[in-house]
Structure 1
Amino acid sequence: MSNKDIKLALNQGVDLKPTTTSGICRAVVLDADKRFDLTWDRFLRLHRTAEAIKRIVKSSDSILDVGGFDGALALFLPQYDIDVLDPITTGGTGLSITTEPYDAVVSVDALEHVAPEDRQSFLEQLCKVARQSCFINFPGRQSAAAQELILELTNNPLVKEHVEWQLPDSDYVKQHLESSGFLVETQKHSSLAQWISQYLLQTVAPDLAAKANRHLLEHHLDAPFDTPLYDLVIGKRIK
């Protein structure tokens, strides 16, 4: 992931405590209800990933969240022990810093911020560390035109990478996991149309967006949609 001076809001419901491995911290949940302070899109992608994890991963299993920033995934999985590796918050710059495998490895909205020429290596490292399962979430290529529109309207540098680097190909990610010994399924989720309106609102009026986000999450979390925003690739090791 590239280095940028971007002010991302740390969620106050979780804290990161250093572990014995430099660059990896343990996410400690202080207040799980603070998950509702997350932006609409971040809540949705973490929620969907957490639901998939609960279906496959035992609460006693070890989990590594790669690119997990503040560890907010733990707000959705308070009964799990989750370690976080992130270049901004933990100083972790690569999976090579850990020689110990984890039962499950998670990467939520990180792959699209890896330079295209480095994505194969990134996926190889995720698969190498994942003992039993792997969960990779990213904006799907079906959202490309909407990403271009959001970049034009907001000039957000993170979205700029979505556009200039091209979004990951879910078929490629699926094939890579399969070749690494995983049985793979892909879930497409979250409304692209709703993302456009909410992303613009949180850009121009973040205080108003917070109230709208809470309403959408509490009352329309599973509302039907036509075009999905995200692809969630789930791998369960079979060999």
Structure 2
Amino acid sequence: MEKQRFVDKIALVTGGANGLGRGMVDQLVKEGAQVAVFDIEDDTMEEAFAHNDRVCCLHCDVRDYDQVQKGVRDVIERYGRIDVLMNNAGIIHRQGFLECSKEGWLDVMDTNLNGVFYVGQAVARTMVDLGVEGHIVNTCSNTSRKTVAGVTPYGPSKAGVKMLTQIMALELAKYGIHVNAVAPGTSRTRIAAGTINDPERSAAFLAKMPFGRYGEVREMVSVALFLASEDASFITGETIYEEGGFSLP
């Protein structure tokens, strides 16, 4: 029987049209939540959720401060509050340090770090104003502690998310708001398709994995939703590494 941890809860998922974000949306709905989705892939959102009356799709680019403010206001106007934020939107640019362009660096930082700050702050303000003792889960990455070559902006952006999570947790605890992060390794999503679909790269990567396989979306979602639920009622400021032991020495 499906757990029902989010009955009568209002959740917001950023980057919810694909991959890990879409898995979060699907599971939140299964567990009773009403879910708002922020994404810039309107057609993908429409295809995924158009016929689900428990999901509200909103075009929102998390890199744009003003769009975020409007998007959060729209969710509050529709549902009255936000109980759970899955602050998940993120991108990766595969550029080495010497080749990394200014545009590539800024795009990753704007999405992965600034976006988490913009959405996290906007939603936290509504929680404080409305007296909601909510849960915020930021999507980090194992590259926040494991050095990986060839994706120069990504690791620093996710290390920033880890520290921002701790700052948010410390400052929001007095309002009863929990803030944690989930840090997945390489899961079977579109963002990892370049590695997964290249036999040579895939074999080299899997040779470094203690379990010898990629993570599944459901495995990351399980950790993320645990942190978003009352099951994690005495956990805040933590980053949980869901990476199959990849960072082990």
Which TM-score band applies after superposition, normalised by the shorter structure?
0.3 to 0.5
What TM-score results when the alignment is normalised by the length of structure 2?
0.39
Task: Please identify which structure carries the higher strand content.
Answer: 1
